[in-house]
Amino acid sequence: MITGLGKIARNALAMLTLGMLALTQLTPAHAQSRIKDIADFEGVRDNMLVGYGLVVGLNGTGDDLGDAEFTRQSMVAMLERLGINVRDQIEDLESDNIAAVMATATLPPFSRQGSRIDVNISAIGTAESLQGGTLLVTPMVGADGEVYAVAQGNLAVGGFSAGGNAETIVKGVPTSARIANGGIVEREIDFNLNSMQDMSVVLRNPDFTTARRVSEAINAYLGEVAARASDPGTVRLNIPERYNQNIVALLTDIEQLRVEPDQIARVVIDENTGTIVMGENVRINRVAIAQGNLTIRVTETPQVSQPSPFSQTGTTEVVDRTNIEVDEGEDNQLGIMNGGVSLQELVNGLNSLGVGPRDMITILQAIKTSGALQAEIEVM
């Protein structure tokens, strides 16, 4: 008998354990992110490059030299560099196969001389399309005015433009193009990691709590106090002696550490598209919400008034008839939201009132004005 009771108890304990495991799996876990995905290391960043150049070989879709004088002057300067003097005939030059463009590129960190980068091309004149064009040698300069890369090559255009006298069809943006691996790095940016004694971990979304968690995660991994949060967006890191001359290994290990980023309660609204994005920390105090649909229709139905047949007097007149209808809706409701409701409860409550996205924007702004919405509202 005792054996049977023990067996029942063990079975009950096993079932209880399985139930607790199931509940644990159903409970949403806080999302953790790698430090690599939420922060950057100071100095390890991209650099923007820009250049001005000419695209040739266009099939009659280039700049109108009469309207784009800078294109004409650029063409003359380019020909003179090649030993062709056409300055005396500058006013007579006519061509619709050339276009002035801006070239932009991103120089990745630690790019070495001779490596290649992608280049984006955008027309700045009156060109209709860059389809079939070739970019001539274009120096790419950085913010300091120094040349860091040179671009040249055939353009790959994602759109097209075609038409005649009566109709034109345009797909995509034919005045923008791309040259894959079209830029060659000519100058390197000096940056010696192994000579650094300390560096900063820069958060992409500054936050006091996240900065503290990042510093604690780094210190726990290193086993010493090497990192400290100096402000919401910066964690200062002293390089441990054992990582001297091997900082790459340290940064690799730090990148893989996982922390739970904190975020402020924020509601982002795009009134143009009716898009609403709310974080999980959005809360509202107890508030009553009434959503009404007021529709007013004004219809004009002009009528003709004319005299009787064979009448000697009177004229035919057009008489205006205006019909106005007012509909306040039949489903107007007053809903009460209890204090401290979560994001899901807030959305469910507003949906139960039959609120569409655009009406929801107005309601959220009104709740914020009343002081019941404990979140920031950011309008895009």
CB 176 within 8 Å of CB 123: yes
pLDDT in tens, 44-98: 888 999 999 999 999 888 998 888 889 888 988 898 888 888 887 777 778 889 9
**191 — pLDDT class (breaks 50, 70, 90):** confident
- CA angle 347/350/356 to nearest 5° reads 100
Supply the pLDDT for residue 9.
42
Surface-to-core class of residue 58, CB atoms within 10 Å of its CB (0-12 exposed, 13-18 middle, 19+ buried)? buried
So what's the pLDDT on residue 187? 93
Indicate the range of 20-34, 95-109, 175-189 predicted with least confidence: 20-34
Mean per-residue pLDDT for 296-317?
67
Distance CA 226, CA 198 (A): 9
Confidence of residue 335 (pLDDT cuts 50, 70, 90): low
**DSSP codes joined into one string, 287-319:** EEEEE---EEEEEE--EEE-PPTT-SS---EEE
Mean pLDDT of all residues in 32-54: 92
| pLDDT > 90 in the chain, percent | 37
Q: pLDDT at residue 304 above 80?
A: no
DSSP H helices, the chain, are 2-26, 35-38, 69-81, 208-222, 247-255, 343-352, 357-370
Nearest to 261 by CA among 281, 241, 278: 281
Query: Using an 8 Å Cβ cutoff, are 324 and 297 in contact?
Result: yes
User: What does the pLDDT average to over 119-127?
Assistant: 94
Cα separation values, 135 from 75, 82, 156, 164, Å:
13, 16, 11, 27
Can you give the pLDDT at residue 342? Answer: 64
Distance (Å, whole) CA 380 – CA 368: 17
Mean pLDDT to the nearest integer, 28-56: 87
pLDDT at 303 over 60: yes
Beta strands 376-379; 266-270: pairing state: parallel
pLDDT single digits (tens) 194-211: 778 888 999 999 999 999
Residue 311: which pLDDT band, with cuts at 50, 70 and 90? Answer: low
pLDDT of residue 213: 95
pTM of the model: 0.63
Helix (H) or strand (E) holding 334: strand 333-337
**Lowest-confidence pick of 114-123, 148-157, 254-263, 362-371:** 362-371
Q: Which of 10-24, 116-130, 180-194 has the highest mean pLDDT?
A: 116-130
> Please, which pLDDT band fits residue 136 given cuts at 50, 70 and 90?
very high
- Is CATH 3.30.70 the classification given to domain 193-259? no
Per DSSP, the residues of 134-183 read EEEEEEEE-TTS-EEEEEEEE-EES-EEEE-SS-EEEES-TTEEEEEEEE
C-alpha to C-alpha distance for 361 and 355, rounded to whole angstroms? 10
pLDDT at 159: 67
State residue 370 phi and psi, 5-degree precision: -75, -10
Q: How confident is the model at residue 192 (pLDDT cuts 50, 70, 90)?
A: confident
Q: What is the CA radius of gyration of the chain?
A: 34
**In the chain, ranges of CATH 3.30.310 domains:** 193-259
- Collapsed DSSP state (helix, strand, coil) of residue 363: helix
Calpha distance 108→105 (Å, rounded): 10
Of 20-24, 35-39, 311-315, 322-326, the range with the lowest mean pLDDT is 20-24
Average pLDDT over residues 264-286: 79
- Specify the range with the lowest mean pLDDT, choosing from 3-12, 195-204, 295-304: 3-12
From CA 179, how far away is CA 175, in angstroms rounded?
13
**Which of 152-161, 205-214, 317-326, 363-372 is predicted with the least confidence, judged by mean pLDDT?**
317-326
Has residue 269 got a pLDDT over 70? yes
